[in-house]
Structure 1
Amino acid sequence: MTILITIVLFIAVVAAAAYLVLTYNPVFGARSADERLAAVRRSPQYNGKEFVNPAHGASVSTSLGENLSTLRDFLRRDPARRPAKPLPIDRWAPLPEEQHDRTAVTWFGHSAVLLELEGRILWLDPMLGQAPSPFPSIGGKRYGGLPAEIADLPDIDAVVLSHDHYDHLDYGTILQLKDRVRHFIVPLGVGAHLERWGVEPGRIEEHDWWDEFEWEGLRFACTPAQHFSGRSLNDRGQTLWCSWVIQGERSRLFFSGDGGYSTHFAEIGRKYGPFDVTLMECGQYDRRWAPIHMTPEQTVQAHQDVQGGLLIPIHWGAFTLALHTWTDPVQRAAAAAAEHGVHIATPRIGEKVLLGSGSYPSSHWWINE
């Protein structure tokens, strides 16, 4: 009996500790309330309990067998999943004043992209932390450095987020950026996280799929993605995920966020294409989560579906979140692009891509890195 009581008490203490951490540690964010919750409940993507992918509810399997097989495969070490030495990184510098009417794209690794869009500075999914984890000391570390420190960057006109996963929405990054960002543009539900982290509600606007709006002379559309959300053990599907259409006077861009391949890309292309450039997810795929992450070949097809001009593959080059080698995404995407006659840019981290320049980065810099 004493042993049984000890076991029960141990379980109770562990459960209580887990509850306290999940409830009071701000890294896990917050749930929507009041007006934000009402907007969530009105969404056609919300089924009364959670957000879903309307096409066929695509998600990743959470069965015990799939989880065990994934864990087994991750435990099998493969040095090719990470680069053997530090990656080449270009230092970021702003466009010269005479080019402020141009558009430049700078990839900071993974899905973090700094846009200089006709005189405005936008951050897309600015995850600049060292690990995509609620506890940065745990989890796969970033492959190397960054093109610039946050303190060295100019003030940001707007941060645009695609969803709330740790490799896209980083608590530490937001804490450092929040007082230097004028506006946050996010999908439904994500604003609650930002508010808990000290961002004033008036600087946050949330949107549902197919919302169209203007901000500071730029035109935006919140568009579908086939993915999921969640930062804790019990908040799966409580915030929306999305892709974004961003249009200035001269440039039109598509940012895919995360997601699997489906018919929504063609729908976006019909409604908003063609695009000068697409920033398209390419990396962290596996057959077990094929519905929520594209293969590189699907990345190229999605680019064609949305009627893209220049393709820049993202969601690779910073973290190991899947079982493929770290260079597999870009190698396969480049091969598929060549096969289908798609223009692809493969910039180094920090290398500026100036739209309309006629010459884009195309070196295979990852070889022997």
Structure 2
Amino acid sequence: MFIKIIKRTMTIILIIIGLLVISYLLFTNFYPNFGGDIANEQKEVYQKSKQYKDGKFHNTKPVPKDLSFPETLKLAYTFFTTNVPNGRPKEDLKTKKVDSINIANYQGEARMFWFGHSSFLLQMDSKTILLDPMLGKVAAPHPLLGANRFNKEFPLAIEKLPAIDAVIFSHDHYDHLDYGTILKIKDKTKHFYVPLGLGTHLKKWGVHPDKITELDWWQNTVLDGLNLICTPAQHFSGRKFNTSQSTLWCSWVIKSKTENIYFSGDSGYATHFKEIGEQYGPFDLALMECGQYNQMWSDIHMMPEETAQAGLDVKAKKIMPIHWAGFKLALHAWTDPINRVQAKAQELNITLITPKLGEEIIVKDTTNNYPKWWEKY
């Protein structure tokens, strides 16, 4: 009798596991938010990259460590069950509104507008460019799988964005690359610039291949005189369990005749910052990742103190902390990144700017009179 109960129990467990696996496969294969899969012929092309081996892209340093399934479950359980004091703002972050006509007709010096987290609208050399435009509600493949972002409204509604000359992506994680955003901007965007493999997602979502340029680390391209250089980062990629590391991740240098900008993407602290500074610095402004960190994954996300040091390494005249004030993706207070990086920047004597969402940022402006706006939340 006991053996029959054990057999019946095991059968039920196996059926449940089988149903879960089938449900996962159906969900990931037919739900469009997951994007595309790298074809075998693409893998052959990527073999030429120094970062690609054994069917995956790799960092120069052998990180991150591949987590086992039990370790992944433990990490997920810790994240979803830990109460983080001040983990979110007390109310939705307010944004300064931007006039769409002003954007469409702008011909002045290089400027930027922060949309929260790592998303920017950049106007440079009479070009309108988006950096990591993630304008979705949650940083997850489905609304039920993530918490809402900190701001309900954007400086400029996505539907009111004017014609976009270029969109630049750093990697394919959900808090940077968003399916819904792509659907709304793809027809008004002239060209997409991405690291190797990321174009697969865009093509899956209806972007014509002729509008996509994929680059490896240290490769560059020119957009009507504007130099775009794909530079290293220490991170990882993947939009589902079985596609981890299938696309490359990167940072970017955006250089005109008069301005020079560095966009870090996501990265742990490593020697590539000094290498980039030596080759392409100094920078008028460096947009540096600062947020969603933890000692458990410090190899792929900088601590705030490292963010300030990385700003020195790339030879930035001033830095702006990004990857915060958007989503709760780690176990620290939402203001911890900005408070800690401010303290370290002061210690290192590096200029740090902290504009509000939607506030105009003049790239070569030497003033730094931004209030601590986050303290009211």
TM > 0.5 between the two?
Answer: yes
TM-score if structure 2 supplies the norm length?
A: 0.93
In structure 1, C-alpha distance between the alignment counterparts of 2:80 and 2:268, rounded to whole Å: 21
2:162 is aligned to: 154
Determine whether 1:269 maps to 2:277. yes
Summarize deviations over 1:194-215 as a string: whole Å, max 9, x none.
0000000000010000102212
1:124 is aligned to: 131
Quote how far apart the aligned CAs of 1:61 are.
Answer: 5.6
Summarize deviations over 1:294-318 as a string: whole Å, max 9, x none.
0111011111100001211100001
Matches within 5 A, 1:190-205: 190-205=198-213
In structure 2, C-alpha distance between the alignment counterparts of 1:70 and 1:287, rounded to whole Å: 15
- Answer yes or no: is the 8 Å Cα contact 1:337–1:343 preserved in 2: yes
In structure 2, C-alpha distance between the alignment counterparts of 1:238 and 1:65, rounded to whole Å: 21
Unaligned runs of 5+ in 1: none
Which of 134, 141, 159 in structure 2 is aligned with 1:134? 141
TM-score if structure 1 supplies the norm length?
A: 0.94
In structure 2, C-alpha distance between the alignment counterparts of 1:301 and 1:358, rounded to whole Å: 20
- Answer yes or no: is the 8 Å Cα contact 2:97–2:155 preserved in 1: yes
Identity of aligned residues (%): 43
Q: Alpha carbon RMSD of aligned pairs, Å?
A: 1.9
In structure 2, C-alpha distance between the alignment counterparts of 1:66 and 1:11, rounded to whole Å: 17
1:338 is aligned to: 346
1:11 is aligned to: 17
Determine whether 1:164 maps to 2:157. no
2:37 is aligned to: 31
Determine whether 1:20 maps to 2:22. no
Determine whether 1:43 maps to 2:49. yes
Which of 94, 107, 110 in structure 2 is aligned with 1:100? 107
In structure 2, C-alpha distance between the alignment counterparts of 1:225 and 1:5, rounded to whole Å: 46
2:3 is aligned to: none
Specify whether residues 156 and 60 from structure 1 end up closer, same or farther in structure 2 by C-alpha distance, changes over 3 A only: farther
Summarize deviations over 1:346-365 as a string: whole Å, max 9, x none.
00011111123333452100
In structure 1, C-alpha distance between the alignment counterparts of 2:313 and 2:237, rounded to whole Å: 25
Structure 2 letter corresponding to 1:59: P
Unaligned runs of 5+ in 2: 1-6
1:288 is aligned to: 296
2:63 is aligned to: 58
- Answer yes or no: is the 8 Å Cα contact 1:353–1:360 preserved in 2: no
Quote how far apart the aligned CAs of 1:118 are.
Answer: 2.0
Structure 2 letter corresponding to 1:245: V
Summarize deviations over 1:115-147 as a string: whole Å, max 9, x none.
011210110100000000000232121012211
Deviates more, 1:297-306 or 1:6-15: 6-15
Specify whether residues 21 and 159 from structure 1 end up closer, same or farther in structure 2 by C-alpha distance, changes over 3 A only: same
Specify whether residues 87 and 4 from structure 1 end up closer, same or farther in structure 2 by C-alpha distance, changes over 3 A only: closer
Specify whether residues 19 and 69 from structure 1 end up closer, same or farther in structure 2 by C-alpha distance, changes over 3 A only: closer
Determine whether 1:326 maps to 2:334. yes
Deviates more, 1:94-103 or 1:75-84: 94-103
In structure 1, C-alpha distance between the alignment counterparts of 2:78 and 2:105, rounded to whole Å: 55
Deviates more, 1:180-189 or 1:56-65: 56-65
In structure 1, C-alpha distance between the alignment counterparts of 2:81 and 2:104, rounded to whole Å: 50
Structure 1 letter corresponding to 2:45: A
Summarize deviations over 1:265-314 as a string: whole Å, max 9, x none.
00000011011100110000000000000011101111110000121110
In structure 1, C-alpha distance between the alignment counterparts of 2:333 and 2:142, rounded to whole Å: 25
Quote how far apart the aligned CAs of 1:78 are.
Answer: 2.5
Quote how far apart the aligned CAs of 1:9 are.
Answer: 3.5
Matches within 5 A, 1:78-97: 78-93=84-99, 95=102
Quote how far apart the aligned CAs of 1:223 are.
Answer: 0.4
In structure 1, C-alpha distance between the alignment counterparts of 2:337 and 2:98, rounded to whole Å: 24
2:116 is aligned to: 109
Summarize deviations over 1:4-59 as a string: whole Å, max 9, x none.
544443433332222111112221111223664333222110012210112x2111
Quote how far apart the aligned CAs of 1:101 are.
Answer: 3.6
- Answer yes or no: is the 8 Å Cα contact 1:131–1:140 preserved in 2: yes
Summarize deviations over 1:206-261 as a string: whole Å, max 9, x none.
00001022122110111000000000110000000000001112111000000100
Deviates more, 1:277-286 or 1:84-93: 84-93
SS of structure 2 residue aligned to 1:84 = coil
In structure 1, C-alpha distance between the alignment counterparts of 2:268 and 2:207, rounded to whole Å: 31
- Answer yes or no: is the 8 Å Cα contact 1:124–1:159 preserved in 2: yes
